[in-house]
Amino acid sequence: MTIFKAIILGIVQGLTEFLPVSSSGHLAVAQGLLNVPEDRMLFLAVMLHFGTLISIFFIYTKDILLICKEFVLMFFDVLKGRGFNMNNEHRKLGIYIIIATIPTGLMGIFLGDIFESFFTSQLIIGFALIITGTLLWTAEKIHSGKRNIHHMKGWDALIVGIFQGLAITPGISRSGATIVGSLFRGFNKELATKFSFLIAIPSILGATILETKDALTMGTGDISFTIILAGILAAFLSGVFAIRTLINFIKQEKLYYFSFYTWTIGSVLVVLYFLS
């Protein structure tokens, strides 16, 4: 493993984690092209996920701090007998992030083995990419909703969480699925984008924690601290770029541009499967 390979993998992870094109497949292809052994890749992949997690904190620092603050204040309100007050924007946002995480976590726990088996199926990945493109196209053609956080309900968060859970399927983009789910629920584009990235925090953090144990068991091999740091930094910087790029695409109503990419890649995979 070299610094150059770690940087390339970090860039691929950061870009595809947040752009709606599915990160798992792209990282696997990059790993193969760079000839990185699986026993070297697992630990580095965990670190790259950590890098993308930092990029969300960087973009949404203010919102995250306010959510944490409101959780503390809500806790003290309950202790003082003031009840469970949900009249604050960031307090509601924090609660809905938790609600959205529940179906994602349950689907990962009970259906994880099924989703994991899909990684070996080129046909399933191809069709999943085509589905991703179709969802992006459909969502973009829907007129932007006007619902903001004050109109949001628990059911909305639950449904978006289910969309996020479905993105465990290789080829289904997590960011794409959650933004599409939010737009289908009538969220305005600002809320759809923000909620998509904020609910990624517990999802990515949980996956990172679970994968760390297996990664440490397998070992780090010849991956030095410098190589790990280079990969994390590349994932962080490319993640920041990807988030800001996606936000601009959504504002300019160009989300469907990514449909052409996922349709093309997905169709190629399907055709190659039937030709092989």
| Local confidence band at 262 (pLDDT 50, 70, 90 cut-offs) | very high
pLDDT digits 0-9 by tens, 142-153:
766 789 998 999
User: What pLDDT does 199 receive?
Assistant: 96
165 neighbors 207 (Cβ within 8 angstroms): no
User: What pLDDT does 8 receive?
Assistant: 94
User: What pLDDT does 95 receive?
Assistant: 93
State the maximum Cα–Cα separation within the chain, in Å, rounded to a whole number: 68
| The pLDDT of residue 39 is above 70 | no
Distance (Å, whole) CA 52 – CA 240: 8
| Structural domain of 144 | 3-275
pLDDT digits 0-9 by tens, 201-246:
998 888 888 777 776 676 666 678 899 999 999 999 999 999 999 9
| Local confidence band at 81 (pLDDT 50, 70, 90 cut-offs) | confident
Reported as half-sphere exposure (CB side, CA atoms, 13 A), residue 257 has a value of: 11
Distance (Å, whole) CA 246 – CA 70: 28
Q: Give the pair of three-digit tokens for residue 146.
A: 């006007």
Number of folded domains in the chain? 1
Reported as half-sphere exposure (CB side, CA atoms, 13 A), residue 275 has a value of: 6
